[in-house]
Homo-oligomer: A and B are copies of this chain.
Amino acid sequence: MLSFEEFTKFCVNITEFIAGKLSEQRDDLTICYKNDGTEVTPLDFLIEDELRNCIASTFPEHGILGEERSPHNPEAKFKWILDPIDGTLGFTKGVPLYGTLIGLTEQNEPKYGFLRLPMITNCWISGNGSVALLNGKPLEVKQHLSWQKSLVLTTDQQTIEASVIGKFWEKAISLGATGRTWGDCFGYYMLCRGEAELMADTGLKPYDIIPLVPILLGAGIELHQFGNSDYSNILACKPGVIEQLR
């Protein structure tokens, strides 16, 4: 089994190229729509293919599940989960809040996770469920203190308000929090850095969230699931926050 240190180093190396790739090609961007109506660009494919090649040549026995291509060796004990551009809507519109997600699962359980934010100084966070590192330095989220001056985040406010998580969101706002849609992976990054109290999300696919689970838990964030226990509807928050919102 790969150590967390080896995983982190490998991910830092194979994602180093991403910031340059994303900034140099931003100007003439072809945008396509997938069957579910979400956006995809040639860069999503290019990045995923590059990551897949690196993984497959280094760990030929591992499986790969990526957002844009067919699964590879899906029954493998160790499986890599890839989202080449998380926050594609923002990316296509020139909003610099997108990122690249890489997760590693063991027997389908999230084991290690990695997030690279090309437009935020190309920084990265990795996590193993017990620790989360921002550019190599451990992150630890502080206790929630007050709702005044606090920030709650989601990817799409309309969707959240209409979901089972809506009542928690609205309670936080009614207690004085400011709500923003600085969402997708950037919202979780804000949460891990202690800049937000909670991030609420629904309708997540494995690529969107599995790589983030070991990071969030490693930073001391609580994860609450709603409905299916596949992380598709979650409230990620500082310790003790959910009790105040019930």
Query: Which of A's residues lie within 8 Å of B, judged by CB?
Result: 23, 33, 89-90, 93-97, 119-121, 149, 151, 156-158, 173, 178-182, 186, 190, 193, 195-196
Q: Does B96 contact A178, Cβ atoms closer than 8 Å?
A: no
Q: Does B173 contact A94, Cβ atoms closer than 8 Å?
A: no
Chain B residue nearest to A155 (CB atoms) is B180
Q: Does B181 contact A151, Cβ atoms closer than 8 Å?
A: no
Q: Does B156 contact A178, Cβ atoms closer than 8 Å?
A: yes
CB distance from A33 to the nearest CB of B (A): 8
Oligomer: number of copies: 2
Q: Tell me which residues across on chain B come within 8 A of A121, comparing CB atoms.
A: 23
**Known contacts A157-B157, A173-B158; is-contact A93 B195 (Cβ 8 Å):** yes
Q: Does B179 contact A93, Cβ atoms closer than 8 Å?
A: no
CB distance from A86 to the nearest CB of B (A): 15
Q: Tell me which residues across on chain B come within 8 A of A158, comparing CB atoms.
A: 173, 179
Query: What would be 23 A-B contacts, judged by CB atoms less than 8 Å apart?
Result: A23-B121, A33-B149, A89-B178, A90-B182, A93-B151, A93-B190, A93-B196, A94-B120, A94-B193, A94-B195, A95-B97, A95-B182, A95-B186, A95-B190, A96-B97, A96-B119, A96-B120, A119-B119, A156-B180, A158-B179, A179-B181, A180-B181, A181-B181
Those 5 A-B pairs whose CB atoms lie nearest each other, nearest first: A93-B195, A181-B181, A180-B181, A157-B157, A96-B96
